[in-house]
Structure formats: structure tokens, C-alpha cells
Structure 1
Amino acid sequence: MRMNQNTLLLGKKVVLVPYTSAHVPRYHEWMKSEELQRLTASEPLTLEQEYAMQHSWREDADKKWRAQLGTTEESCMVGDVNLFLTDPEDPALGEIEVMIAEPSCRGRGFGTEAVLMMMSYGVTKLGLTKFEAKIGQGNEPSIRMFQKLHFEQVAVSSIFQEVTLRLTMSKPEWQWLLAQTSHVEEKLYRDGSVEPH
């Protein structure tokens, strides 16, 4: 994540900023929710473990970007979006995840814009051409959102109770993605503040 540790992406509805140690306490509070644990297939961690995970995201080369997702109108953090490499044999494949932690912010298009922004960043800055999303079988809203973004189901794991959706960036898909994210601005982010880019 070092290459984008100072990158801020500003969309119409959301702003993506790097996941820093300042975000850990809020994230830790979110993840106490049994509903979020179920939807994200996560186990509860101690605050110290969350800080260690944040440090891991910042230092590991295979974890390309974990961004906190905030709304542009309210300037508050509402979730996160992650992009990481899962297949050393295929460096053009990125796994993408999104979580809208604040219940009042779900169903408002924040997750959709965040995923589009992260995918565009992955294509233009990281050379990714394929994306996968692994979603719990019971998480219908998330499955529907990814399907609206042209992802297709490629696998179902009864053991992990999850569906794998995939999108390969053909030329028409790439043009569609760039059109969807043409409004996004990249800015410099340092220590919680935005600087002109």
C-alpha cells in the first residue's frame, strides 16, 4: 500500500482516503457488530489486533489499497473498500471488497461509487484487468450491486458459504468504467488533510 499511502480519491458521493491508524478505533467499533461480522465473514479482533492489521495493510506489497470511505456531503467515515492481489500467478487480478458499516448510509449508492472508483484506480494505476468479489451467499444486496457493475457469478463455495463474482475488463468494459469515473479527482492526502495535487 505504500505507493498510494498519500492518495485521496474524490467522487460525487464519496471520498476514499488511506486506512491510517487514526481510523482504527472507529473501524474496531464497527466490527463489534454481529451483523457486520456475518456480512464480511470476519471474526472480532482486539483493538491491538486491529492496529496490527492496519500496519500489515500499510506494509504488505500484496495489499494494494485499503481505503476508508466517507461521504462528501457529511465528511464522515461510513465504511471501507479494499483492493488486494490474491493470485501470485496472475498479477492482473485484484480482489475487491466493500463495506458500508453505517446502516443509515446503506442503499444510497456509496458502495457502488466506491467500487467503481477503486476499480478505475486498479485499472489505470495498477494495471489490473480482472476483478473478483467474494460475497457471503446471504448478502443479497452486495451480490446485486456487483452484478449491476457487470460482475458475473463464476463459483459458489458451500464450505465457505460464499459466491465468487468476476469482471474481466474488455475494451467496452474499460471504456464503460472510465466513463463512470470520469468525474473522480485524485488529490494528495497527508495526516488527515488534503493538499492540492
Structure 2
Amino acid sequence: MLINANTVVKSEKILLVPYENHHVPRYHQWMQSEELQQLTASEPLSLEAEYQMQQSWRQDEDKCTFIILDIAVYNDYEKGTEDEISAMVGDVNLFFNDEDNKHSAEIEIMIAEPTARRKGFGKEALLCMMQYGEQILKVEEFTAKIGFSNVASIHLFQRLGFKEVSRSDVFEEVTLNYSITDHDPTSSTGVQMFQIGPYRLKS
């Protein structure tokens, strides 16, 4: 999505940055994992196809993607000891698939780095994306579709106020819903409101 192409979203633990060409090799490496393929219902792509996918996502007005960075690692890079790629831990996405309701979006998250799990990055990235979606993209309702086996992700969404609305035995997934009119994403999370700034990759 072009609207977030020059945007960085900052909170306490993470930075959200647009998915750029230089992120692709690390992202492609992640997606060779059979575990992540299963959790995200994805098929492995060639590196060339991954580059093409990144470009299509950049232009697609129905998809908003951010790469999640560990801010502690990134701050080390600010001091000259690390780089942005080393700070990558996953991604968070919004899909505007409902043609009848442009204020509804499907949200998904992936914490790809095993060492980055159970540190609160997923929760914080979801909250930032929900706040960004509400304030910038005018989203009023979020849905999440999660495989039955991904129990940790289901519990995370439920803790944030998502309610189960349906189950599909065919696709082996549960659908959860969150309406902005029924909740305030910042009311009980302990996460401060995000900051938005210009995105500039340091060379």
C-alpha cells in the first residue's frame, strides 16, 4: 500500500517499517520454514517470486504491510553496531477484502524469529497496527482468521478483545472479530499511543 510507503510507526518495544526490497532476502529465508508455512497457510516461493510479491504488495491498495523491528536491536544500529535487517522479527498486515465494507479489514501477524517470541512483540505490533488502521486508514472492524493448531495466536487475539464468530472445519480455522465501536484498543493494554514519523533507511 502506497500510503505507508514512507512511514515508520514507533512504540515502546518495536518499530513498524514498510516492506522494502532490502527486507526480501531475510523474509524469504523465514518462509522456507515448514512451521511458518503451516502457521501462515503459505507456499514457499523462489527468491525472484518473493521480490515480485514485495513489489505487488507495495502497489496493492487492498493490503497494508509493515515489517516488525526489535527497537532495542535497531537502537544498537543507531549507535553503529547493528543494522536494520538484524532487527527484523516478523510482519503485520491488513487486508481490505470486503468489497461491501471498505472500513473492514482482516489483520494478521507473524513473529518469525523464534528468539523474538514471548517478548510482547506480537501484542504490541497488533495494537499499533489496529491504532494505525483506525486512525489513518479509517478501519472500524477487524477480523482475524487463525488455524486451529495456532493456539498461541488465538489466545493473543482473544486477550486483545477479539471474539470468536465462526469455525470452519473445512479450512481448519477460526474467525474472530473486533469492532472499534465496542472497544478502545488503548484502554487496557498498557501500550502507549504510537508515534508516526518518516521512514528513512540508514546506509
Could you say which TM-score interval applies, normalised by the shorter chain? over 0.9
Conserved? CA contact 1:153–1:163, under 8 Å: yes
- Aligned residue for 1:120, secondary structure, equals helix
The aligned residue for residue 59 of structure 2 is: 59
Cα distance change, pair 55–175 in 1 and its aligned pair in 2 (3 A): closer
- Aligned residue for 1:74, secondary structure, equals helix
The answer on 1:134 being equivalent to 2:145 is yes
Which amino acid in the other structure matches residue 105 of structure 1?
Answer: A
Conserved? CA contact 1:120–1:181, under 8 Å: no
Which amino acid in the other structure matches residue 7 of structure 1?
Answer: T
The aligned residue for residue 43 of structure 1 is: 43
The aligned residue for residue 8 of structure 1 is: 8
- Aligned residue for 1:16, secondary structure, equals strand
Structure 2: 5+ residue stretches without partners: 75-86
Cα distance change, pair 134–144 in 1 and its aligned pair in 2 (3 A): same
- The CA RMSD measured in Å over matched residues stands at 1.7
- Aligned residue for 1:156, secondary structure, equals strand
1:48 is displaced (CA, Å) by 1.1
Structure 1: 5+ residue stretches without partners: none
Deviations 1:130-175 (Å, cap 9, x if unpaired)?
Answer: 001111110000000000010001111111111111101126x136
Which amino acid in the other structure matches residue 44 of structure 1?
Answer: P
Conserved? CA contact 2:131–2:185, under 8 Å: no
Superposition pairs for residues 88-167 of structure 1, below 5 Å?
A: 88-167=99-178
- Aligned residue for 2:193, secondary structure, equals coil
Distance in 2 separating the partners of 1:51 and 1:156: 34
Distance in 2 separating the partners of 1:112 and 1:95: 16
The size of the alignment, in residue pairs, is 191
Which amino acid in the other structure matches residue 107 of structure 2?
Answer: I
Cα distance change, pair 181–85 in 1 and its aligned pair in 2 (3 A): farther
The aligned residue for residue 186 of structure 1 is: 196
- Aligned residue for 2:197, secondary structure, equals strand
The aligned residue for residue 80 of structure 2 is: none
State percent identity of aligned pairs: 48
Distance in 2 separating the partners of 1:79 and 1:88: 28
